[in-house]
Amino acid sequence: MGAFGLGIVILFLACLACGVPVFIAMGVSAVVGSYLLGGTSNLLQDAAVGAYDALNSFVLLAVPLYILAGTLLEQTGLSVRLFTFAASLVSGIRGGLGVATVIACSIFAAISGSSVATAATIGLVAIPALSSNGYSLARAGGLVAAGGTLGILIPPSIALLLFGVLTDQSIGALFIAGVIPGIVLACLMALYTAAVNPRDPNSRSPSRAEILRATIDAGPILLLPILIFTSIYSGIATATEAAALAVSYIVIVGVASRTLGWKQLVQAGLSAAHASVMIFMLVAFGALMTHFFTLTGVPQGVATLIAKSGLGFFGIVTLMVIFYLILGMFLEALSMMLITIPILYPIARAAGIDPLAFGVFVVLAIEMAQITPPVGINLFTISQIGKIPFESISKAIIPYVVLLVLMMYFVVYWQDLATWLPRTMNYKQ
């Protein structure tokens, strides 16, 4: 059965090589595999029911809502105030605007849950400011693309939400688990930025009045992450209900500040719908492929093979890091997660990795995929926004890929980074 499962994996890879969209490749491979297993009766009906069951989840409603929150905020143009606020805090230090970019990405990440939305929204503001203050376009683009990856680690995180659905883990606990690693990664990025960039030529220490003015202007945006965190962590709202609150809040703020009209509202809705449909198609057809893998025993076979290989903990973790690094060069991030979790999750549990820590590990891996050429979507997004040659930004991103790899090791060797906060909050839902 293992060899048979391997054959279907080869079929899936062949479909990808021929340019077939990932979700179609998943569906075709799963249906063909089920047919060859002898499931000829009601084959397509069973596939339809399986896809429906995968999407029939209240938790998944949070995905389009968080995406809509990000697209609405992008349309309002309030990201300019967010960047101004971040710059007012750190503009006087070495590499201040670069550090401000990381701060702005972190705050926006705590609203949208999307890597691309974070990179695109902050990039529109940050890249011109960085380039006019001595940063090369490639370095500025690499910084924004890397900062955008915080969007899928700092909660609310769409990737952590999907991980919870796939592994039957608490979404709230996973969100809490991402807080400390997200802050640590943001600090590492900020420290690296301050270390490698000279003092900005036009930098100066802002006055208290300027900081206060920038804080007041950005106040409505700064309150939103607090609203989301408080509602989820206090138990007042679920992750899905908090997403609905976030959308309502942004609409109210946008209308009140006259930055959101019907045109922007429609455009934000269309963008969110497009992104949500793509994710749901991946989830639906990924569930079919996961079911097929379970029937053929592929995850258990791979886990047994690794267990008998004699690899220690470091060897297993390194193997997973290399596996994700290679896959990230060819697969889109969420597709990669849907394909690998059914196989690697049992291996991680057998190796003694806590589910929450492994969830953060996987999200760090797909963050890496967001900025790994030739398929890194953040690189393409920033290359288009900043008119930066793709080759240049690909070189500038290498140090940030190294930081992500280091964080992957940190989170499995010191699992308290992910598990301490949920444990101290006695989070069991």
Rounded to an integer, what distance in angstroms lies between the CA atom of residue 415 and that of residue 240? 27
CB neighbour burial string for 346-378, b if at least 16 within 10 angstroms, e if fewer = bbbeebebbbbbbbbbbbbbbbbbbbbbebbbb
Return all residues near 13 (Cβ < 8 A) that are at least 6 apart: none
The residue type at 24? I
CA 121 to centroid of chain Cα atoms: 15
The residue type at 250? I
CB atoms inside a 10 Å sphere around CB 310: 7
Domain that holds residue 241: 2-424
Does any domain span residue 429? Answer: no
Return all residues near 79 (Cβ < 8 A) that are at least 6 apart: 73, 104, 108, 121, 122, 124, 125
Does any domain span residue 274? Answer: yes
Rounded to an integer, what distance in angstroms lies between the CA atom of residue 163 and that of residue 169? 8
pLDDT on residue 299: 61
Rounded to an integer, what distance in angstroms lies between the CA atom of residue 308 and that of residue 347? 12
Q: How many helices (H) and strands (E) does the chain have?
A: 22, 0
The tally of domains found in the chain comes to: 1
pLDDT on residue 362: 92
Q: What is the CA radius of gyration of the chain?
A: 22
Choose among 86, 158, 178, 87: nearest CA to 117.
158
Predicted confidence (pLDDT) at residue 2 exceeds the cutoff of 70: no
Does any domain span residue 338? Answer: yes
109-136 pLDDT tens trace: 777 767 777 777 788 788 888 887 777 8
Selected residue with higher pLDDT from 18 and 359: 359
Most confident of 47-51, 233-237, 299-303, 357-361: 357-361
Return all residues near 402 (Cβ < 8 A) that are at least 6 apart: none
Predicted confidence (pLDDT) at residue 298 exceeds the cutoff of 70: no
Return all residues near 287 (Cβ < 8 A) that are at least 6 apart: 50, 51, 53, 54
Predicted confidence (pLDDT) at residue 347 exceeds the cutoff of 80: yes
DSSP notation for 326-340: HHTTTS-HHHHHHHH
49-92 pLDDT tens trace: 888 887 777 777 877 888 888 788 777 777 778 888 887 877 77
């409505």: which residue's tokens? 220
Rounded to an integer, what distance in angstroms lies between the CA atom of residue 217 and that of residue 224? 14
Among the residue ranges 24-33, 35-44, 45-54, 335-344, the one predicted with the least confidence is 35-44
Predicted confidence (pLDDT) at residue 429 exceeds the cutoff of 60: no
Does any domain span residue 238? Answer: yes
Instruction: Tell me the C-alpha to C-alpha distance, in Å, between residue 251 and each of 221, 256, 258, 268.
Output: 12, 8, 10, 11
Predicted confidence (pLDDT) at residue 147 exceeds the cutoff of 70: yes
**Percentage helix, strand, coil for the chain under 3-state DSSP, each rounded to 5:** 80, 0, 20
Q: By the 8 A CB rule, do 289 and 29 touch?
A: yes
Does any domain span residue 391? Answer: yes
Does any domain span residue 48? Answer: yes
């040659």: which residue's tokens? 389
Predicted confidence (pLDDT) at residue 142 exceeds the cutoff of 80: yes
Instruction: Report phi then psi at 97, rounded to 5.
Output: -65, -35
Predicted confidence (pLDDT) at residue 340 exceeds the cutoff of 50: yes
